[in-house]
Amino acid sequence: MNDTHELARLNYGLSARSKFDNRPVLTGALFEFSESDLTVVTADGYQLHKVTINRVWRDLAGQSFLVEVNDLAHVAQLKTARAIHAITTNDQRDLIVSIRMARGKRRDIVCPRLDGRFPLYSSIIPDSASLTTLVTIPHSTLDSLSAHFDAVTFDLSPDHGSIKARVGDFEFCADAFSHCRASKPVTLSVNPAFLANSSFGLDLAVWKISKPTAPIVGSFCDGDVIGVVMPLSTGR
């Protein structure tokens, strides 16, 4: 994995954290280290992002850290940010993330430890064996809809696809939405901008799992980048 790809994954992994303080643990990020990779997870109660960064982390292997990442997210998104240089820790179990910047510079960002326990995210991410893909919505469709509409309802079945899109008091309806037909009937109400931003530039899969029975939406990228949005829809 190249340096730019690592940084892009880190940015995506940090971007689902909550902006509200009513659940402080959700304002931070969970960093889980193994010998061969780093998993970064954020969630805000509506969406969850999980990324894996493949690199050897021998000094931190087997450890996990729940930390505040506002400063890190700011620096990692700068145009002058180039790569993750290193990650270390201090005696207070704060993480120190070093970002290599343009012109050979480096910025060390202290990510203070947060008290509390991060939710068990594995219970939110569906097991691939339990998934039934109802429909795949092209990312280009989400981008196009998000540029004009606040809310979209997809009404899909094997032989029919239609949408209702709304901005303010104006509602737009379109039938014969042929590239978004579903294997089983499903009605899905979404914020297209929210989904477009959560999909890492990928087509969005609408899944149905055995428990709960309502469809969910998410996107996978080789298993290393996972975005899940919840609650996602009303099933039928």
Tens digits of residue pLDDT in 43-68: 988 788 889 999 999 899 999 999 99
Which CATH number characterizes residue 91's domain? 3.10.150.10
pLDDT above 50: residue 232: no
pLDDT for position 209:
63
Q: How far apart are CA 216 and CA 229, in angstroms?
A: 7
Residue type, 48: L
pLDDT above 90: residue 181: no
The pTM score is 0.76
Whether the CB-CB separation of 14 and 38 falls below 8 Å is answered with no
Whether the CB-CB separation of 217 and 111 falls below 8 Å is answered with no
- Considering 66-75, 142-151, 171-180, the range whose residues carry the highest mean pLDDT is 66-75
In a domain, 144, yes or no: yes
Q: How far apart are CA 13 and CA 116, in angstroms?
A: 20
Pairing assessment for the beta strands 225-229 and 47-54 based on DSSP bridges: antiparallel
137 and 110 belong to one structural domain: no
Residues in the chain: 236
174 and 216 belong to one structural domain: yes
In a domain, 234, yes or no: no
| pLDDT 10s digits, 65-91 | 999 999 999 999 999 999 999 999 999
Which residue range is the domain that position 142 belongs to?
Answer: 128-229
